Amino acid sequence: MTDRDRRGESPDDEGLPEIEEGRYLYCLVRADGDETIDTTGVDGEPVSLLTVDGVGAVVHQCDTIYDSADLTEVKRWLVRHQTVVDEAGEAFGTPIPFQFDTILRGGDEGLREWLREEYETIDRALSELAGHWEYRVEVVETDPIDDEALLERDDRLRELDERIDASEEGAAFLLEKQYEQRVRELQQARRESLSDDLQGRLDDVTREVHALERSPSATLGDGSADGAPATDGETLCRLTLLAHEDDEEAVGSILDDVAANPGLEVRFTGPWPPYTFAPELGDDEGATQP
């Protein structure tokens, strides 16, 4: 009955596939039958709200998937999709967001049937997510600890340094490799310690914390917002948080403590709709998922 029609394929020679009575899904919200949403969606389509027993689906009618070789157009679609989800969140509270280009077949009746089938999961998720939003955190080291500071902290590194000074060229070369390996180990241990400590502190004021893949390098800022130059550095950790809106100040206070450390900068963004923490919806054959 329900299909997610976006598969990520490029359009073939015959053009994009047609979808009979498609409904493009932006998000699900808590709403009764008397509420509406007045906005336009992807490609200027009028957005509507269809409700079943207190659950509303923010949608627009469509007859094809959205796919284009024009990256500017795709970006414009993505931005508009996110804008509609944000507007729905402002109007109705925390939504269950869907990824761009999630489409259900079957028209309004098909959508109602799907909402009834998934009602228990949707209703529970909306209750659990109420007032909670996703936040992203990135901690960047802009001024790495130098070898002198590491030598002061680590007995093994000092021993290797002394042996290098006392060794002939061949032996010194091998010891230098061990020295470099030890430096990498200490740097990795520092990253893990900082990330574990930060996650532990954030656990106390959030509902969920997840580590994200760490980028090897990062640039914070572009100088356009506050006049500060862009800052390059190494990413120590990246986290995504699910936190109640009332706890945003507590999260910010913890991050301020981290940013107070010399050589560290923190990027904190949000609130975002909880994409990472939304439930999976649909069965194996109807793979409609947020």
Q: In sequence order, which residues have a C-beta less than 8 Å from that of residue 185 and are 6 or more positions away?
A: none
| Predicted TM-score (pTM) of this structure | 0.78
**How is the chain split into domains, by residue range?**
18-130, 134-272
The sign of the dihedral angle between the CA atoms of 3, 8, 14, 18 is positive
Question: Each residue's pLDDT tens digit in the chain (290 positions)?
Answer: 333 333 333 444 355 667 788 999 999 999 987 889 999 999 999 999 999 999 999 999 998 899 889 999 999 999 999 999 999 999 999 999 999 999 999 999 999 999 999 999 999 999 999 999 999 999 998 877 777 777 778 888 888 888 888 888 888 889 889 888 888 888 888 888 888 999 999 999 999 999 888 665 544 444 433 444 445 678 888 999 999 999 999 999 999 999 998 888 999 999 999 999 999 886 533 334 34
